[in-house]
Structure 1
Amino acid sequence: MTKRRNIIGKNLLDFRNARARQPEIVRSVQKDAKYTEELAEDFSDLLRLTGARSWIKYNQLCKLFAEITYHGFASSNNLQTLGEEYTGVIQVDSAYMNIPSRLLQLVSIILEFGGDALFHRVLEKLEKYIKDNEAIVPDAKQKLLKVLWIMHSSPQYIKALHKSLFYLRSSKYQISKRITGLNYVLIRHWLQPEFSLYGYKILGVISFLQVTVSLIINAYESWKDHRRKTLENMNSSSRRLVSAESNANPEKSDAPQCILCLEPRINTTLTPCGHLFCWNCILDWLDERDECPLCREKLKKSNLIPLQNYL
């Protein structure tokens, strides 16, 4: 590793126009990942010597410890990582004027390698607090838990969108670098060969479209699930009402049953093939398949005939 301050000297103004591009940053990150994986394997082998119980309990922490040790050692000693030295890049502050402080680099390392675990841990604590807090009304509690569920699944989409932005604009590859404002510059930018970046821009567009389509599909699935639960609650309320009426009027307890819910039919609906179901039951069925539950004849929602004053 090479001393950073010895490399760049006293002035970084010349590096404002020497920002590292996608190829250098990606290769640097990949090179560092290779070395941290090897270091994690070494830590795992050492941990194995302490016994099988300890190895099983703490082996998953070896990778995190290796990443923090590897990058922390370079930052605390004001050094380039092996990946940065390999590609000829160096970290500078957001103004491209100075080497970033050790504290800022440490925050960046913690966010990069421990940010996900910390984020999910905080959400778990909030979820437990909301569930155990009796002062929160049930409706508000349900909405807050739904927001937390969305936040639990959001990091993967945020990372994918951030990466697509990096491919398009050669911005920051890691979210931790964007939060802390750290940048990469090329040390010997005048010696770097010219690369065509159109491939990275195409990859950025493809990544953005992929994330967008995935978000739309997940949103649609969530809407379908919410609609299904709403219909189930409506059916449950209707059945309780019918049950109460049946108890009040025993002669109605012999009402025909719906073959789907095995309960007295509610809002009886006729199919073209001559079968009768609850209105909501047959609609839910047709959401999954377009055929009659009994005879398997092709069936669409537009073919259903609601019957009035019919049991």
Structure 2
Amino acid sequence: MSLPAAQPAEVLRAWQKDDSYQKILADWLSKLLPSRHASKAEPTSSILYKYFTTLKDLQTLGEEYSGIVQVDETYHKLPTFNSRLISILLSIFGEHLTRKLLRSAEKQIEKNASLRPEIQNISLVVLRALNNIIPQLENIHRALCYINGGPIQIGKMIMGIDYVQVRPAAAAYYAHLRLLGLVTLMHSIICCGQNIHRAKKHMEQMRDFPLEVNSDEACAACLEEMLQPCVLQCGHIFCIECCYGALDSCALCRSPFTKNTVIPLMNYKPGR
């Protein structure tokens, strides 16, 4: 006789309990570690907590409290050691790794001189939109777990790990949790739509963006009158407010630059 799948309320309760214990452990570790390593206390506490529970074929304190046990996709066996290990690493470092890969891709695109400026700009807008959407994707997954059940951690879902109930659960909380899931899902979808709309609008604006500087008209970055022109290492000219302001790469060729390499053109005036 197979055990029933764990109810969403019990999975959420277990996750909340485990999260609170890990935060307590992280607080203790932060007091023991040097201040320069304080940021490592949280991932270290998660690794230690999961090592002495999940990787030792034991329930976590939250799972024991809720009466649930991890199983593989067959619902008859415990997950393999490798599956549990990969799911833990994905849960702890997955978001950080994804953001790092996106930032690395942005830098590669910015340095790729063979790409046309419009292709570079569109690629950068898409990557930055994906970076903004990552938290909403996590919220969508969590909302679906509230509604349909399943593990809250995306790492467990990827590795095919789920939960079964080993003792009777409090079913009264399920209706409220399902309503919370629907509200969370709607909010996350709206936020994703807003990010996609902003990215689309940005790309539409860039289609009309000048690819060459017309010094007789305006700065190509802010489209305002170029009162104090400065030249970058790539040879393109912008106003001083853009060069020493928000820009960290040329708005025309995407070549990166630092503020100390900007050269003000003291005796240059656009149009002459």
CA RMSD between the two structures: 2.7
Pick aligned residue for 1:110 from 71, 86, 89: 89
Return the offset for 1:224: 4.1
Partner of 1:29: 15
- Deviation of the 1:141 alpha carbon: 2.5
The equivalent residue for 1:14 is 2
Distance 2:99 2:202 in 1: 24
Distance 1:221 1:123, change over 3 A: closer
Is 1:186–2:154 an aligned residue pair?
Answer: no
The code of the aligned residue for 1:83 comes to G
Is 1:72–1:109's contact at 8 Å kept on the other side of the alignment? no
What displacement does 1:174 show?
1.6
Asked whether the 8 Å contact 1:172–1:183 carries over to 2, the reply is: yes
Partner of 1:200: 177
**Cα distance change, pair 140–226 in 1 and its aligned pair in 2 (3 A):** closer
Residues 203-218 of structure 1 aligned to structure 2 (within 5 Å): 203-218=180-195
Which is helix-richer, 1 or 2? 1
* Aligned-pair CA distance for 1:237: 6.4
Residue 294 of structure 1 corresponds to which residue in structure 2?
none
Q: Matched residues in 1 for 2:21 and 2:60: separation?
A: 10
What is the CA–CA distance in structure 2 between the aligned matches of 1:226 and 1:140, rounded to whole Å? Answer: 10
What secondary structure sits across from 2:57 in the alignment? coil
Mapped pair 1:39 → 2:25: yes
Q: Which amino acid aligns with 1:208?
A: L
TM-superposed CA distance for 1:239, in Å, is 6.4
Q: Is contact 2:125–2:199 with CA below 8 Å preserved after alignment?
A: no
Deviation digits for residues 239-298 of structure 1 (CA, Å, limit 9, x no counterpart): 65x9xxxxxxxxxxxxxxxxx9679xxxxxxxxxxxxxxxxxxxxxxxxxxxxxxxxxxx
Pick closer, same or farther for the CA change 1:207–1:151 going to 2, 3 Å: same
Is residue 2:53 matched to residue 1:74? yes
Match of 1:303 in 2: none
Q: Does the 8 Å CA contact 2:22/2:46 hold for their aligned counterparts?
A: yes
Residues 264-283 of structure 1 aligned to structure 2 (within 5 Å): none
Q: Which deviations, in whole Å up to 9, do the C-alpha atoms of 1:118-155 show, x marking residues without a partner?
A: 11112222222222233333333333222321221221
Instruction: Please show how residues 55-94 of structure 1 align to structure 2 within 5 Å.
Output: 55=35, 57-94=36-73
Alignment partner of 1:164 is 2:150:
no
Instruction: Provide the C-alpha distance between the structure 2 equivalents of 1:262 and 1:150, rounded to a whole number of angstroms.
Output: 30
User: What SS class does the counterpart of residue 59 from structure 1 fall into?
Assistant: helix
Shift of residue 230 of structure 1? 4.8
Q: Distance in 1 between matches of 2:97 and 2:224?
A: 45
Distance 1:120 1:216, change over 3 A: closer
Q: Displacement of 1:221 after TM fit? A: 3.4
Structure with max Cα Rg = 1
Larger deviation, residues 168-177 vs 218-227: 218-227
| Amino acid in structure 2 at the alignment position of 1:165 | L
1:220 paired to 2:207:
no
Q: Bigger CA drift: 138-147 or 154-163?
A: 138-147
RCO (CA 8 Å, sep 6+): is it higher in 1 or 2? 2
C-alpha spacing 1:226/1:129, structure 2 compared with 1 (3 Å): closer
**Does structure 2 retain, via aligned residues, the 8 Å contact 1:43–1:66?**
yes
% identity of equivalent residues: 28
Go from structure 1 to structure 2 and tell me whether the alpha carbon gap of 1:74 and 1:230 turns closer, same or farther (over 3 Å shift): same
Give 5+ residue unaligned stretches, structure 2: 227-272
CA distance in structure 1 between the partners assigned to 2:64 and 2:43 by the alignment: 22
